[in-house]
Amino acid sequence: MSRLSAVFERTRTARRSAFVAYVCAGDPDFDTSVEVCRALLANGVDILELGVPFSDPLADGLTNQLAAQRALEGGMTAARVFELVRRVRTFSDAPIVFYTYYNLVFAHGVDAYFQAARAAGVDGILTLDLPPEEAGEVQAAGSRHGVDTVFIIAPTTPEDRIARISAATTGFLYYVSREGVTGVRDQVAGNIPEAMARIRRQTRLPVVVGFGIGSRSQVAQVAPLADGVVVGSALVNCIRDHLGNRERLVAAIGARAADLAAGTAIGA
């Protein structure tokens, strides 16, 4: 059983939703990023989603764009992202998923990228701008190297495409609950129950929900509907708000993660 499958089985048994935390790898620098990952995984995070810094992150709002910029300015490279995963693997066996863009995979060479990801300890790769119709090489590389593929479903996805997207996925489906880019919102999207019903008619894969979820109460609203809840910008804001003081930054993001994780229990 893969690490991802084991997490979803464990959280279902515990009657809670998996807590998926997003941060940008290397934000604001390599050593701080390692400690951020350590704090997250020590405070209730089940799956660590690492954004691979990119100069043109089209799916991301300003918070995560600036995180990527800080990471790149701090010296992060493709090789150092893999090194970051290897460092995390010295203290955690939790699943790690890359949140990335196809240009970064393609430029490295698809097979070589998946091979390097597997060797570092990556469990899954979500390539945001790659439609499943064009993902044959990625699917083959994932299968060959034992790295799960993750694809997204949006509110605008027609029902007849959900099965096609599911067929390309081996890890979990990521339901983007809002149109547009990442970012904290005042309210959870209102269409989630209907969307989850549509998706579950087409697949038995785990489904996580993200985009616009940033508080414990919002996590608690989504948790009964989904196998996992993704929080990103609210955690990245902890980094932004404590730049220049690593100790306070790490303490703040750990405390925020623990608070968010408390919302994942069904009925919380």
- Rg value, the chain, Cα: 17
Query: What's the average model confidence in pLDDT over 155-171?
Result: 94
Is 49 a known active-site residue? Answer: yes
The CATH number of residue 156's host domain is 3.20.20.70
Is 179 a known active-site residue? Answer: no
| 266 occurs within a structural domain | no
Pairing of strands 47-51, 148-153: unpaired
pLDDT (tens digit per residue) in 190-216: 689 999 999 999 999 999 999 889 999
| 252 occurs within a structural domain | yes
Q: What's the pLDDT at 267? A: 59
Residue 70 belongs to what domain range? 3-261
| 268 occurs within a structural domain | no
pLDDT (tens digit per residue) in 47-87: 999 999 988 777 667 888 899 999 999 999 999 999 999 99
Q: What's the pLDDT at 59? A: 66
Q: What's the pLDDT at 245? A: 97
Query: What's the average model confidence in pLDDT over 213-238?
Result: 95
pTM, rounded to two decimals: 0.94
Alpha carbon distance 144, 192 (integer Å) = 34
Select which of 9, 29, 35, 49 is catalytic: 49
Report which of 154, 230, 238, 242 is spatially closest to residue 199, judged by C-alpha positions. 154
Q: Which residues contact 112 (CB under 8 A, 6 or more apart)?
A: none
Select which of 27, 46, 60, 148 is catalytic: 60
| 106 occurs within a structural domain | yes
The count of domains in the chain is 1
| 267 occurs within a structural domain | no
Q: Does position 123 have pLDDT exceeding 80, yes or no?
A: yes
| 145 occurs within a structural domain | yes
Alpha carbon distance 69, 13 (integer Å) = 40
| 225 occurs within a structural domain | yes
Q: Give the 3-state secondary structure of the chain.
A: CCHHHHHHHHHHHCCECEEEEEEECCCCCHHHHHHHHHHHHCCCCCEEEEECCCCCCCCCCHHHHHHHHHHHHCCCCHHHHHHHHHHHCCCCCCCEEEEECHHHHHHHCHHHHHHHHHHHCCCEEEECCCCHHHCHHHHHHHHHHCCEEEEEECCCCCHHHHHHHHHCCCCCEEEECCCCCCCCCCCCCCCHHHHHHHHHCCCCCCEEEECCCCCHHHHHHHCCCCCEEEECHHHHHHHHHCCCCHHHHHHHHHHHHHHHHCCCECCC
Q: What's the pLDDT at 180? A: 45
Phi and psi angles of residue 120, each rounded to the nearest 5 degrees, phi first: -75, -30
Strand partners, 176: 210
Confidence band for 1, pLDDT divided at 50, 70 and 90:
confident
Q: Does position 97 have pLDDT exceeding 50, yes or no?
A: yes
Q: Does position 152 have pLDDT exceeding 70, yes or no?
A: yes
Q: What's the pLDDT at 234? A: 93
Q: What's the pLDDT at 168? A: 96
| 127 occurs within a structural domain | yes
Tell me the percentage of the chain whose pLDDT exceeds 90. Answer: 86
Query: What's the average model confidence in pLDDT over 173-179?
Result: 82
